[in-house]
Structure 1
Amino acid sequence: MEPRRMERILVVEDNDEDFTALARVLNRATAAALIRCRDGEEVLACLDRLTHDVSSAPAQNRPSVILLDLNLPGTDGREVLAHIKRDPLLRSIPVVVFSTSSSPKDVTYCYEQGANGYMVKSVNFSQFEAALRTFTEYWEKAMLLPPRGRAEVR
């Protein structure tokens, strides 16, 4: 299997306004498909379906990158991140946290849990847009992503 470019972005965002703005920017910046989950339970169920259910062709539907909000209702983004990075079938999926929190405690925790990046959501739209364009350029143009399919469990 060959490394690949960004094909699917799984966006975990509960705020409709933030998601609409985010989708508008990402749809202009990339051809990658956007998949949205609104809370921690939904994203964990979605990842379980896409990765663990052998009947659902997980290799074809696996997200290239996960863009994860921290402050989610129910199971929050911190718990989602920890779950993803503990799971041998999920941990190779890059996770970039995109949160309003710039708390050093949150940033440190996320990197300790294996986050591949941490971006702060700006209330200023031009800064918000610039951050998402940088995200897209980095993951789409500069980085190679793991091949589609199941990672070998070692």
Structure 2
Amino acid sequence: MNETQCRDRRPVLVVEDTEDDYETVVEAARRARVENQLVHAADASTAARLLYGAPADTFAFVLLDYNLPGVDGLEFLDELRRHPVHRRLPVVIFTASVNARDRAAFHVAGASAYHVKVMQFDRCLGMLQDIFDRWLTPRAPPGSAACAPPQGASG
């Protein structure tokens, strides 16, 4: 069985206002052989419309930038954590901010993880590939139902 058989297949919501950064996310997903749809929102209000109009289990996780136009990523996360349907959705912060106070504020607000964007393209791709691997691969023991092949499939 290959590793993609164990991956969560739901879409990933990418909240990123910088087109170049979004394209880096897309390239990292391609290189990591991520087959999930990447749903792009360039601001928090678009992300909110996409999330709040969908069932709780629609997205595998949210990849969220901090510096967004209008409502920033921290405000959006705070609002999301108060939402009765989506408050448990994993939210991974992917930001240029190296400020320890920002990291702490996101932790307090309920971020699932906090990653600082690196300027070197290959390192950035590697970091994003690790994020996809971590948040799309179930943490289940080998042989468990989470990684079992579909019924009728032979290995």
Instruction: Tell me the TM-score normalized by structure 2.
Output: 0.80
Q: What are structure 2's unaligned runs of at least 5 residues?
A: 1-6, 141-155
- 1:40 maps to which of 20, 31, 44: 44
RMSD: 1.6
Higher relative contact order (CA 8 A, sep 6+): 1
- 1:22 maps to which of 21, 25, 30: 25
Larger helix share, 1 or 2:
1
Q: Following TM superposition, by how much is the alpha carbon of 1:100 offset from its aligned partner in structure 2, in angstroms?
A: 0.2
Counterpart mapping for 1:135-146 below 5 A: 135-143=131-139
User: Is the CA contact 2:14–2:40 (under 8 Å) kept in the aligned structure 1?
Assistant: yes
> 1:91: which partner in 2?
87
Question: How many equivalent pairs are there?
Answer: 133
> 2:60: which partner in 1?
64
Q: What are structure 1's unaligned runs of at least 5 residues?
A: 51-57, 145-154
1:17/1:32 Cα in 2 relative to 1: closer, same or farther (>3 Å)? same
Consecutive aligned runs of 4 or more in structure 1 exceeding 4 Å deviation: none
Q: Which amino acid aligns with 1:100?
A: A
CA distance in 2, matches of 1:108, 1:70: 13
* 1:117 maps onto 2:120 in alignment: no
User: Is the CA contact 2:60–2:136 (under 8 Å) kept in the aligned structure 1?
Assistant: no
CA distance in 1, matches of 2:84, 2:30: 30
Q: Following TM superposition, by how much is the alpha carbon of 1:9 offset from its aligned partner in structure 2, in angstroms?
A: 0.6
Q: Which amino acid aligns with 1:5?
A: D
CA distance in 1, matches of 2:21, 2:12: 15
SS at 1:31 equivalent: coil
Instruction: Tell me the TM-score normalized by structure 1.
Output: 0.81
